[in-house]
Amino acid sequence: MNKTRTLVFVSLLIAMEVIFTRFLAFQTPIIRVGFGFIPIAFAGILFGPVIGGATAALSDIIGMMLFPKGAYFPGFTLSAFLTGASFGLFLHKKPVNLKNVTIAVLAITVVVDLALNTLWLSMITGKAVSVLMMPRVIKSAILLPIQVVIIQVLWRYIGHYINQNAAQNA
């Protein structure tokens, strides 16, 4: 893809992530369940770790500026960057198969969601990490296979088509 096409596509993915996260998600003070991971996964798969991470970080910043839900905390932006970068690291120019998607989602779940985001929440809320951890582990255990299946199925039917057409039109 040329630079203009990449910029436009990344902008579209950012807009989708903001909408999926801010409007199509269920959120409590310690848990958010939504579909914002889909455009971030696609950004990582299509463009690699740097652009995938930048897409996720910009999505977090823009989402907070347009639709704030509490004070801005830069730790969550770092977590967003690491999520996008991880999708790119594990899935860019690699087969988007069950094994690779599971490894990517598992790494993100353990390192970003359970470790870093729980730490950020503990710092913000003043609650002990041990108090926050159990509901987050349950949520992650339920969502991990769902995220794996959604990413793999959507990539098979939509993403693969996007990637093929982008390569042909570049």
Does residue 168 register a pLDDT over 90?
A: no
Phi, psi of 26 (to 5 degrees): -100, 125
| Tens digits of residue pLDDT in 123-162 | 998 999 988 999 899 989 999 999 999 999 999 989 767 7
Which residue type is seen at 110?
A: V
Q: Which two tokens stand for residue 109?
A: 């779940």
Distance CA 35, CA 152 (A): 14
pLDDT tens string 42-93: 999 999 999 999 999 999 999 999 998 888 999 999 999 999 999 999 999 9
Cβ partners under 8 Å of residue 116, min gap 6: 75, 78, 79, 82
Options 1.10.3720.10, 1.10.1760.20, 1.20.140.10, 1.10.10.10; CATH for 3-169 is 1.10.1760.20
> So where are the chain's domains?
3-169
The rounded distance, in Å, linking the Cα atoms of 44 and 111 is 17
Rounded CA gap, 139 and 103, in Å?
18
Average pLDDT over residues 90-115: 96
